[in-house]
Structures are given as C-alpha cells and as structure tokens.
Amino acid sequence: MVEKIAFIGSGELAESLLKGFLNKKFVAADQVWMNNHSNKDRLAVLEHAFHVHTTQNKELALKNAEIIIFAFRPADTKSAVEEMKSYLRPEQLVISLMVGVPTAFIQSASGIDLPIVRAMPNTSASIGLSATGIAAGSFVTDAQLKLAKQLFETVGTVTVVKESQIDVIAGLAGSGPAYLYYLAQAMQEAGAREGVPEASSAQLVMQTLLGASHLLNQSGKSASDLLKAVATPGGTTQAGIDTLDKQAVRQAVIDCIHQAIVRAKEMSTPFTK
C-alpha cells in the first residue's frame, strides 16, 4: 500500500488526478502532499477543498514519498529537477505528466538512476473516466510499472505504450476531451440558432453525447457499424452526414489530431538537442 504521494505542480491536471485518486480511495487525503513553486493561494484552495498536505518546500514534499508526480510546466523541467535532485532517491517512482519531456532528459538532470514513467492522462480523471497512456523509462522495474498502471486504473483505463508513442497518446487521448467539447459547443449553438432555448439545447446535446458514448462502449459494435445503423439512406441523419462529408470534417478531425501530435513532438525538441 502506498503511504505517500507527492505532486510537484498543482495545476488543473494535477487536481483532476487528485480528485480521482481520492474518490477511488487509492490513497487517503493525509497521504498526499501538493507542492507548487510560487502560488500560495492555489495551495490554500487545494488544502481547503481536499484536506491534503500542501507546502512550497520541495524537500518536505519529497521526503519518504513512494510516488512523485511531476506536473509542472515542461519549460521548468531542468531547473525544477536540479532543485530537487538532492532530495530524490532511486527507489522512488517518478511519474511525469509533462508533454514533450523524455525520461532520458529528466534522468540526466537528476544525476541518478531514477525510475521514471511518463503518463498521459486527461482531465476526465476527475470522474474516473480518463484514457491514460503510460510508458516506462530505462530504470523502471516490472513491479513499478505495475504500480503506475494500478494508480491510473483508479481514474480510468490504461494503455501501456513505448515512449516513442507517448506523443500520439497526447494528441489522441490527452487532448481528446477538448475535441468533444468543441463538437458539443457547435451542436448546442446549432440548436439555439434553430430556436431551441439555450439551456434545452445544451441538455439535449449533453445527453445525446453521453448516450452515444455509452452505446459505443457497451454495444460491442464499431463506430462504423453504429453509424451505418442510424444513418439510413434518405433520412435526416444521412442528410447531416452528407453535409459533414462535403465539408471534409472527417479529414479535418484526422488533421486536428495529427497537428496536436506534431506539436507534442515539437515540444520535445529543446529536450533532445
């Protein structure tokens, strides 16, 4: 059983994971330490909301922590790890949430054989429905990879990938909720423009997307099969799909994900020179 988890960085994604871990009782609130560089108000909010320990003292946060979650800005990696390296121990499992930062870079900055798992969850972790990809660095044991997998399984599903594939996970699943929010926003706007009250339009769209995602998950049928079943020739749904095809929306979605992946790879450039 894990006795202490330390978050270094306390932004939105860290909070989403914190909510998920606490809701699923993977750890108790008094086993979690939250740290950030300069925002005392943020720490106060988290302490009040979740009753976790908070500190701006990294040594205190890291001491005796079995799992350390790096959740700070990628640009701060070198300075942050160098500041922490005298407090890090080879037996501690580091989980890095930073897009674009290879485990080898963190390894080099720490100066020790640190076991590092890169993880790419999304903010749906806060309700236990994240799709998370994880990849093991050079010094991660099978037992530590299993522990990381168990940790993220408390907040959704976990897919183990090679580190070279983690940027794909970032663009596909890490950014994925935003694509759905974009679609929901457009659908709600369409309903409102056609005269449906804004609140009613929002409710209809939310329930429609919820039902569709559950059906896709539980029916055992592919997205293609479900689409064919509902888009009957000459019907209203097919008329809508025809319009999407004319606007090349399918290709736009593919390009959207590709560009997110490209950006993730670009973000790694400063750390691989």
Tell me: the pLDDT tens digits for 74-94?
989 999 999 999 999 999 999
Q: Is residue 273 part of a domain?
A: no
pTM for this predicted structure: 0.89
Place of tokens 């409710």: 203
Return the CATH number at 222.
Answer: 1.10.3730.10
Q: What is the DSSP letter of 164?
A: G
28 and 105 part of one domain: yes
Place of tokens 């949430």: 97
Return the CATH number at 26.
Answer: 3.40.50.720
Number of H helices, E strands in the chain: 12, 8
Is residue 132 classed exposed, middle or buried when 0-12, 13-18 and 19+ CB atoms within 10 A define those classes? buried
* Radius of gyration over every alpha carbon of the chain, rounded to an integer in angstroms: 21
Query: What pLDDT does residue 273 have?
Result: 66
Query: What pLDDT does residue 46 have?
Result: 95
214 and 149 part of one domain: no
197 and 260 part of one domain: yes
161 and 222 part of one domain: no
31 and 118 part of one domain: yes
Please, what sign has the CA dihedral across residues 97, 63, 153, 213?
Answer: negative
- Choosing from 117, 147, 166, the residue where a domain stops is 166
Q: What is the DSSP letter of 82?
A: H
Which residues of the chain fall short of a pLDDT of 70? Answer: 273
Give the CA angle between residues 222, 246, 259 to the nearest 5°. 70
- Choosing from 125, 143, 166, the residue where a domain stops is 166
Q: What is the DSSP letter of 76?
A: G
- Who's near 210: CB < 8 A, 6+ residues apart? none
Structure confidence by residue, pLDDT tens digits, 179-233 = 999 999 999 999 999 999 999 999 999 999 999 999 999 999 999 999 999 999 9
136 and 33 part of one domain: yes
181 and 94 part of one domain: no
67 phi/psi in degrees, rounded to 5: -125, 130
Q: Is residue 271 part of a domain?
A: no
Tally of structural domains, the chain: 2
- Choosing from 143, 166, 189, the residue where a domain stops is 166
Place of tokens 């990849």: 135
CB distance 244 to 250 below 8 Å: yes
155 and 185 part of one domain: no
**Domain hosting residue 224, numbered range:** 176-266
Query: What pLDDT does residue 256 have?
Result: 97
What's the chain's length in residues? 273
Query: What pLDDT does residue 177 have?
Result: 95
Query: What pLDDT does residue 257 have?
Result: 96
75 and 159 part of one domain: yes
Distance CA 172, CA 168 (A): 6
Strands 130-136 and 116-120: what pairing?
Answer: antiparallel
Closest CA to 125 of 12, 208, 45: 12
Q: Is residue 46 part of a domain?
A: yes
Place of tokens 């236990």: 128
Q: Is residue 171 part of a domain?
A: no
58 and 121 part of one domain: yes
Q: Is residue 12 part of a domain?
A: yes
160 and 183 part of one domain: no
CB distance 125 to 17 below 8 Å: yes
136 and 190 part of one domain: no
